Structures are given as structure tokens and as C-alpha cells.
Structure 1
Amino acid sequence: MGRRAGPAAAVRLVTGRDALNAARVEPSAHEQHPKRRINEVSVLLGEREHDIAELVAATLRSVVDEAVRVTGAPLAAGTVLTHPAAWGTIRKDILLDAAARAGLADPVLVPEPVAAATYFMEVLGHDLAPGRSVVIYDLGAGTFDATVVRRGDEGLDILAADGLDELGGLDFDALVVTMVGAQAKAAASTVPEGWERLLHPQTPAERRFARLLWDDARAAKETLSRLPATGLSVPSLDLDAHLTRQEFEVAARPLVARTVRATAAVLRAARVPAADVAGLFLVGGSTRIPLVATLLFQELGIQPVVLEQPETVVAEGAQRWVAK
């Protein structure tokens, strides 16, 4: 999410790749993850304040525009929007306000773990008989949520839910940046001035290099989910960093452990006997990190269900839930 100045000092909000590109010029007008700011009345982008519903609406509007472009038809009423199970009335009202500003008529709200549980049953074909439950572990780009969903006689019920609003994939990207920084520091007797400029860029060129560093850090993190080692080049420092999964997991363990403890606490709060747990379902792109499944199994004794594309689970599950 970012802000871009147009003709005659006009200002418009841009999202996605456009926002990332705009951030290279004006980083103070960029918000990496508006969902983390959902409790705030307004967010300062550059020198202008925007209420949080306006930022969410800009994101939804981009999705609407793309959907209309691809399908060639306007969106019908009843678009499905998902949200964390722990969101109360105020947060859901912000989402509804944003939907209205984006031109979405009569949106249908579905809790994300309910959508995930629907996918667990209908797409993956897991048996979730009435009275049995599934634990949804959702580790996305910006936040983490753990939920116990039970199948009742009339549908899916949320027994317990909790989350960590300040922990997500962005924090694992930061770990990679820190690992690269340690190698940069080891390459010289003092902290290289160039590294400090990457962390606190001032000029357009420095901001471009900083953006590349974070993009490459995210790519390196994803590679370490598949391979035991990878490299990362920092052109502005003439540095080639070598990263291993083992080093990354040592750094990531405290963060992952927090999510595991939160999941165990939610399961205890739900008071579900082990025999009634049908599965532990991992949702969200950051669940590709192998350490996640390892620590969850060690703590809970339940073999997690891990997918190739965990980012799409909630969207497809919500669609199937509404279609039922």
C-alpha cells in the first residue's frame, strides 16, 4: 500500500507492485501491511493521514478492477470477504465500510478458519464427522491466527481462536536481512557504511537498493524452504552472502515457537479431546517453512497437513462455503 502524487499535486493510493515501486521514491508514504494497522483510526502515509478503511478499500478496489478486466463483467452482489475469527464487530465494520467504498454490494463475511475447514473437507476430502474438530494454523505475510473449528449438526462452529497480530512472514524476511547484515559486518572490521545506508536509505538510489535487498531476502527465505542453502547478492556492497537453512531455523525458532505455543493454548481452550481432532491444517504462505511443521508435531503430536499452495486455501474454501 502506497501513495503516489499525480498532476497538480493530486494524490491517489496505489497497491501491490505499483506501491512497491512508489516506495522506492517515497518510502514514508508506504504501508507494507495495512492489516496490522486495523486497530488504528488513521495511518500516516508521507504527510497525509488516511483512515484504515480507505487503505483497505484501495486494496479491494484493485481486486475488483482486475476481476472486471479479466471476466469482462461487473461483479455481482454478494462478494465473499474473509476475516480472522478473532475479529470483533469494530474490525468487521471497518471491512464492510471498505467494501462499500470499493463498490462491493452486500458482501458476505466468512471467518478465515471456517473457509479453511471447508477446504479441508471438500477439496482435500478429509473426514470431519459431526462432533470432530480441525485445528487451523494460519501463518500469513503479516499476522498469525490459530483456531479450533468443530463440525456441528448444522455447520462449522468456532470453539476457540487467538492470534498474533504482529507476527508473520515479514518478520522472517527481516531475519534473513539480519543474517546478511551479520555477514556484511564480518567482512570488515567495522560496520560498513553502505550497509547502514541500506537499512536507512536516503537517496532514490539507496531506496532502490534497499527495496531489492528486501525482495531478495523474501526470495531467499522461500528458497530455504525447498533447499538446504542459497545465496544472496548485495550489489551495492559487492557482497555475496551464503545462507543455510540450519542458520535460518536457528534464528526463526523463537518466532515459530511463539505460534506453536499459541496454537497449543487455543487447543486447550477449546477443550477438545485428542480423539476428536481430525487434523492440523496449515494455511498461509509462511507455513512452507519446514520448521513450522516440525515444531507443531513435536508439541502437539499431530501430523500437520501441508499443501503446495497454502495461500489459496482460504479464498477457495470461502467460495465453496458460500456455494453450499
Structure 2
Amino acid sequence: MRLLAIDFGTSNTVAVARGADGRARPLLFDGTPLLPSAVCLDPAGTPLTGRDAFRAARLDPARFEPAPKRRIDDGAVLLGDREMPVTELVGVVLRRVAVEAYRQLGGVDEVRLTHPARWGERRRGVLADAARAAGLPPPRLVAEPVAAAAYYPAVLGAAVPPGRALAVYDLGGGTFDAAVVRRGTAGFDVLAESGLTDLGGLDFDQALVEHLGRGYAGGRTELWQGLLGPTDPGRRRARELLYDDVRAAKELLSRAASADLHLPALDLRAHLTRDELESLIRRQLQQTVGCLAGTIAAARLDPADLAGIFLVGGSSRIPLAARLIHAELGVAPTTLEQPETVVAEGALRLDDPPALPGTPAPPRIRAVPVPAAPLPAPAAAPVGAGAAARVVPARSDNPAPLRSGPAAPVRLGLPGAEPAEPAGRFWTGTSGLVWTWALALLVVVALVVLVAVVATGPG
């Protein structure tokens, strides 16, 4: 069974495939599992997706749609002088996924396509029609929080017994969604859902750009504004570079205390700190936590009643999000190294049994290999050169204790033969002591014989 699961997102689309070998692997687009959901028509009218769409948009932004998912209710979208039905617009993105899936798997037998829990029948119908227009089999539609919840026991091995509920905090690039799902006998059911359709990682990027303008533009406001509102391909390229660098700096600040980036229009280097980022986005993150708390209350549950709170979506890796949830709700949420792929992989594993305790972590979670035996400490570590060396005691099953000097030579021969004495230490060893007593006894015997001879001599 060749299975393909697709999370069609506002900013990025993620797909995970499982072939005949049973292994789940994310599809890669330009070397990354994140395919920008953007679409742009080239001068010949051919639709382009992903990074190709962004590059084409530098030349003609009127033919560019950055977020087709936001246009799901519009019926058709005008790109340049061409009106494109939304079904076709979404289908272009899904077609790119289909091509990559067929290249890797040789075909697809089943497709699972995720959607926001609040989407009604009409929106879900547009999504299903887009999948068919992309040449995919009729998809099985899965609510995003249900897919995320399925990942929790199937991959992480976390226990969610029947009747227990799980909260899903989904902070992506363009939107925020909160949901509470309960595990039943046939899977997960959505008890309550809510969201903020105009809040996501792109808003955090914009807040950082405005902060940089206030701090560094100075007397060059007109130059800075020309960068933010470009009118020619060169400035559009500079603007895209700026936002790419700001996004990269934001992601770095999730792992480090500071980040530096270059401001192309001002030709200078800017410095950002995690404290600055958190001060800029704290109010918005508190909105998401408030929305999550309201969703839990709408499910008629207290945070303490939950089996857990699961953070998914790329922007959920911002450390402040987890800290605010813990502080406001009293529950430490579960976070992952790559939360962008959780929904797609959860949809793929929807019918999988829960992972057993002790199951190895999925490949995306890095594990540090532990050697079978402790490595010996350096002979002499310089004082102050980092952490103190750990002293590892000798194991009781070692054949001989460790020595600080050269290893003692071993007498070859019968099994269990005793080690030979080191050269130059014969008279202080065990064998030397035996020979000393033997020599003394020989001297005593000789003296006794001599005395007896003298006593029995002539006269």
C-alpha cells in the first residue's frame, strides 16, 4: 500500500509518504520538507509553485498568489489578466506534491488530505476537487487536530486512553488553531475548536521588520520605505532577501540568545536578541494562549483533565509559547524538534496502533549514540579548559585493573596463567620471596652438616 498524506497549509504544504517497505518519509522540495503554498503564473501562463513562484513574482507580482488557502471561499482569483478557479489554484500546489510522490513511490494508492476542523462541507469539497484535478485518487479528508492527535500515541508512544482528551495548539505561518480532541473507540473526535485566522509566524516577521526600521532606519526613512514597498524587480529581490533573513533570525532566536542580520537597503548589520523578539510578540502569543484556554473551557474541561497539550506548527517552536502555556494553564506542553511535519505524519499514521513504551524515537528527533563502554579520560586535562573530566571507575568484570603506567606483560601459555613479574623487580615479587627462603634454608642445612662433621672428627 503506497500511502500519501498532505497537510495543505496557509504558508507551506507538507507531505509524508509511506511505500511498500512501511517506512514513513517526508517528501522534499528543493531540499526541504516545506513547500511554499504560493502560486505564480510565468509570462507564458504556466503556473509555478513553491520557491519558483516567489522568484517569478519578483518580475510580475500581479500574477502571484502567496496563500491560496486563504482564497478558499473566493471561487476564482485574478492572476495578472487570467482568472483562475480556486480549485485549479489549490490543485497546482497538490499537483507538485503528486509529481514528487509518484517520482519516489512510482504511484499512490491512497491519499489523506488534512483541513481545519472548522471547515464545512463546501470548503472540504473544494479541497477534494483540487486533489482530483491534481491527478490524485479521491482523498480521505482528515481534520488537522485529529491528525495531530494521532501522531501523539502512534509516534511518541504517549498514552491517551479511551475517554481521555488532548489539546492541540497549532501555530503556523499564517493562522493559529486550537482544538480539544477526545479518544474514542474508533479514533479521535473534536470536542471544541477555535482559532485566530489573522495571526501566525508571518505577523512575527512583520513585527521584527518594523522593529528594525525603528531602530536602524534613522534619517533614511524614505530609503527604508522604498525597500518595504518595492516598485522594481531589484527592490523586490532586496525585500524578499530582507524577509528571508528576518525569518531565519527569528528561527535562530528559538535556539540562541541573539542573532545578526544584514539590512540590504541600509547596508549595515543589525543585532537582535531573544528578549527583543519576545517583547514584540508577547501580546500576540498571549492571545493564542487565551484562545487555547477558551477552547478547553468550551470542551467543559480543565487543563488538569487533559492527557496533554501538544504543540504543532512551525511557529510553536518559539520558547515563549510553551512558557506562557505552562504559566497560564499549569500544564507543561509537549514540543518537538520539527513540528511542521506532525499533522501530515499524523494523518499517515491515523490507523496505526500506539507505539509501545521504549520504541525508538522517529528519525527527525536526534539521538546521541552512547558507546558500549566508557571512553578513557584524557591523560592530563589542562586546568580551566572546559568542564572537569568525568572519572569512570573500573568495571568489576574487567580481567585486570587499569594501570597508569605501561600494561603488565602477560605470560603466554596455559589458560589462567599468572602474569609474569616485571623486569628488574624479581627479588621484590612473589617468586623472588620463595627463592629467598629456599636459599636461607640451604645455608642453615649446610651449617648443621658442618657442625656434625666437626663433632665426630678425630680425638
The two structures have a TM-score, normalised by structure 2, of 0.66
Letter in 2 for 1:185: A
* Pair 1:243–1:274, CA change in 2 (3 A): closer
Q: Tell me the CA shift for residue 87 of structure 1.
A: 1.1
**Is 1:50 the equivalent of 2:84?**
yes
Q: Aligned residue for 1:278?
A: 307
Write the deviation string for residues 176-207 of structure 1: whole angstroms up to 9, x where unpaired.
21122112333x2xx43221111111111111
Q: Aligned residue for 2:179?
A: 147
* Residue aligned with 1:159, SS: strand
Q: Aligned residue for 1:255?
A: 284
Superposed, which structure 2 residues align to 1:29-48 within 5 Å? 29-48=63-82
| Stretches (4+) displaced over 6 A | none
Contact 1:184–1:192 under 8 Å retained in 2 = no
Q: Tell me the CA shift for residue 49 of structure 1.
A: 2.7
Q: Tell me the CA shift for residue 273 of structure 1.
A: 4.0
- Larger deviation, residues 88-97 vs 30-39: 30-39
Q: Match for 2:298 among 264, 269, 273?
A: 269
Structure 1, gaps ≥5 residues long = none
Superposed, which structure 2 residues align to 1:1-324 within 5 Å? 1-6=38-43, 10-71=44-105, 73-76=106-109, 78-186=110-218, 188=219, 191-322=220-351
Q: Tell me the CA shift for residue 309 of structure 1.
A: 0.7
Sequence identity percentage: 52
Write the deviation string for residues 152-175 of structure 1: whole angstroms up to 9, x where unpaired.
233211100111122111111111
More helix by share: 1
Contact 1:147–1:162 under 8 Å retained in 2 = yes
- Distance, in Å, in 1 between the alignment partners of 2:98 and 2:346 is 19
- Distance, in Å, in 1 between the alignment partners of 2:326 and 2:275 is 19
- Distance, in Å, in 2 between the alignment partners of 1:155 and 1:74 is 28
Write the deviation string for residues 258-280 of structure 1: whole angstroms up to 9, x where unpaired.
11111111000000244431000
Contact 1:129–1:151 under 8 Å retained in 2 = yes
* Residue aligned with 2:46, SS: strand
> Which structure has the larger Rg over C-alpha atoms?
2
* Pair 1:205–1:94, CA change in 2 (3 A): same
Contact 2:253–2:273 under 8 Å retained in 1 = yes
Write the deviation string for residues 273-307 of structure 1: whole angstroms up to 9, x where unpaired.
44431000000110011111111112111101010
* Residue aligned with 1:278, SS: coil
* Pair 1:4–1:153, CA change in 2 (3 A): closer
- Distance, in Å, in 1 between the alignment partners of 2:99 and 2:41 is 18
For these two proteins, the number of residue pairs brought into alignment is: 316
- Distance, in Å, in 2 between the alignment partners of 1:166 and 1:235 is 28
Contact 1:144–1:259 under 8 Å retained in 2 = yes
Letter in 1 for 2:339: P
- Distance, in Å, in 2 between the alignment partners of 1:30 and 1:5 is 9
The one of the two structures with greater contact order (alpha-carbon pairs below 8 A, sep at least 6) is: 1
* Residue aligned with 1:44, SS: strand
Structure 2, gaps ≥5 residues long = 1-37, 354-459
